[in-house]
Amino acid sequence: MAGKTKYLLNRDGRYFARIVIPKDLRAFLDKKTELRTPLGPDRRSALAQLEMAVADMKRELAVAERRAKVASGEAITPGRYPLSPDEIAVRDYNSRMAFDIELRNAGPGWVSVGIDDLRVKLLRDGLAGRLNDDTLETLIGARVERYRLLGNTTATRGTDDWRQVARALCMSELESLARVAERDEGDFTGKPENPVLLQAEADPIDDELSTTEFNNLTFEAVIQEKERLTAMGLGGNKKSASTLQKYRGTVYDFEQHRRSKKIATVTLEDGEAWRNTMLEAGKLSRKTIKDKLATIRAILGWGQEQCRGKLFPTTPKGTPFDFLELPVGEATDSADRTYSLKDARHLLTSARTASRASNRWIPWIIAHTGARVNEITPLEKADVFELEGHWFIHIRVGKGRDTKTHKGRKVPVHRALINEGFIEWVKLQLDGKLFPGGKNEDQRIREWIREKVFPNREDMPPPNHGFRHLFEDALFVGVSHKAALYITGRSSGSSADDYGGSDLRLIEIAAQMDKVRSII
């Protein structure tokens, strides 16, 4: 009999990755006692996903450990990923050369910036060892600290090790400035004169800033590879088109901030600078900022996995964002994202006079099913069917259609929709799509609501949240928890997610829907 697989948990035929949280870290993880990630019902698939899931949970624990140390005043130990001074110099040189190319590609202004002769002299003196610690600190100290924070050195000012690293960085900057001067004259053939850097070009060290196949890897390329892998059933859960569109918007903002699309050059300092800029601007909520940072961290993780740990070799099982402190989200009242009964009734009454089918029926459907708008816009006539006197809407997955949980469901048609004439309207439609438009139809509905229904209101939540939250409140009337999860398409991570598979269960769910009140 095979022994138990570490971190793998089986509950009612479904598998999870599970790690118990040490007691001293629970206060930094919402007082949870364990981390658990659903892996699905298939053991083979679960085992394939297990290592990745455990790595993600261990990163969570590492962040919690860092927060615990900060809270207790305990210093975080540098040198987790040590490099020799020569290796740090190579990394710094490659980083500067890559940045020089980026600046030249960005516009002509960089070429007109001259080289500071005084700095060159100081760098030479620093390399020779003629500078005292104060002058060396001013000249190159920030660079030494950067590599200390990256975990590449434990050197602190006042030690021989610190001066050795500082001198190595003086050398790398001197060499890079020589290449910059050559490139300003159109000569891109120059080679380092220092033997350390010259040898590195012949036999480059394996790091994220050296000249490797990953140096030109972009965020977009990582996202596209994620799409390709998940379409094959690999690389974790598939992301919906709307989620990936949101991710791409966040990536664009991050790229604009750091003025680079290259993923391999991302540093912890980039994340901290972007976070602080957004917080200081005060235009976004802390939760939104937290979500944006988490999105970039997720994509960095995808890239690291796709490159088999070589994208960020100093953190082979993680990324530079793993130790990024995320903002604490503000406590919000869910009522702020829920339609009041007055507003909901006004919207539904207005929909009765709408000429466009989407505006006429989709508000009524989402108000009485809790479905998301983009789950309803692709509905076809065949998706509305009758079973034992009960009508259902089949929200499908596949052939360009998806849901947040990547699972389809059959939702009972609420009596309010039947009384409103929805079924009779469906019967009159031709086979095929019920509603016009394509992927942007949900945007048209939002614009109609904003411009026609609530033209002078700036405080209205989007219909997805406004009606969904209101409908979920209506489920408190006595609908079973399992049925509520199924109807609204929420995942519990248990076998309850498959509730509603048979005709008999559908009839029982329809009976549960009969308990839910009408909005009008």
Residues 424-442: tens digit of each pLDDT: 999 999 999 999 887 778 8
Mean pLDDT to the nearest integer, 470-499: 74
Q: Which residue has the higher pLDDT, 284 or 500?
A: 284
Of 69-73, 371-375, 463-467, the range with the highest mean pLDDT is: 371-375
Helices (H), 73-214: 85-106, 117-128, 133-149, 160-184, 195-202
Of 192-196, 266-270, 356-360, 400-404, the range with the highest mean pLDDT is: 356-360
Tell me which amino acid residue 56 is. D
Residue 330 has pLDDT above 70, yes or no: no
pLDDT at residue 432, rounded to an integer: 93
**Distance from C-alpha of 189 to C-alpha of 140, rounded to nearest angstrom:** 27
DSSP-assigned letter for residue 398 = B
**Distance from C-alpha of 382 to C-alpha of 410, rounded to nearest angstrom:** 12
Residue 68 has pLDDT above 80, yes or no: no
pLDDT at residue 357, rounded to an integer: 94
Q: What is the DSSP string of 477-509?
A: GT--HHHHHHHHT---SSGGGGTT-SHHHHHHH
At 152, list the tokens: 């590449």
Mean pLDDT to the nearest integer, 81-97: 83
pLDDT at residue 169, rounded to an integer: 95
**Distance from C-alpha of 423 to C-alpha of 386, rounded to nearest angstrom:** 10
- Lowest-pLDDT range of 218-232, 340-354, 357-371: 218-232
The two beta strands, 34-40 and 409-412, are unpaired
Mean pLDDT to the nearest integer, 177-206: 76
Q: Which residue has the higher pLDDT, 115 or 392?
A: 392
Q: Is the pTM of this model over 0.95?
A: no
Residue 228 has pLDDT above 60, yes or no: yes
Instruction: Label residue 206 by pLDDT band (50, 70, 90).
Output: very low
Mean pLDDT to the nearest integer, 264-276: 89
Instruction: Label residue 2 by pLDDT band (50, 70, 90).
Output: very low
Closest CA to 336 of 455, 461, 458, 450: 461
Mean pLDDT to the nearest integer, 398-416: 86
**Distance from C-alpha of 89 to C-alpha of 170, rounded to nearest angstrom:** 8
Mean pLDDT to the nearest integer, 291-314: 88
pLDDT at residue 462, rounded to an integer: 80
Instruction: Label residue 417 by pLDDT band (50, 70, 90).
Output: very high
pLDDT at residue 27, rounded to an integer: 84
pLDDT above 70: percentage of residues in the chain: 87
Of 38-42, 105-109, 219-223, 228-232, the range with the highest mean pLDDT is: 219-223
**Distance from C-alpha of 93 to C-alpha of 95, rounded to nearest angstrom:** 5
Instruction: Specify the 3-state DSSP secondary structure of 376.
Output: helix
At 339, list the tokens: 């339609």
Task: Put the strands of the sheet holding 384-387 in their side by side order.
Answer: 384-387, 390-395, 409-412
Instruction: Give 409's strand partners.
Output: 395
Give the list of residues 6+ apart from residue 325 with CB closer than 8 angstroms, or none.
66, 67, 70, 272, 275
Note the Cα 303 to chain centre separation in Å: 12
**Distance from C-alpha of 324 to C-alpha of 276, rounded to nearest angstrom:** 11
Residue 180 has pLDDT above 60, yes or no: yes
The per-residue pLDDT for range 7-58, each reduced to its tens digit, is 899 888 888 999 999 988 888 887 889 999 888 888 888 887 787 778 778 7
Residue 308 has pLDDT above 90, yes or no: no
pLDDT at residue 210, rounded to an integer: 37
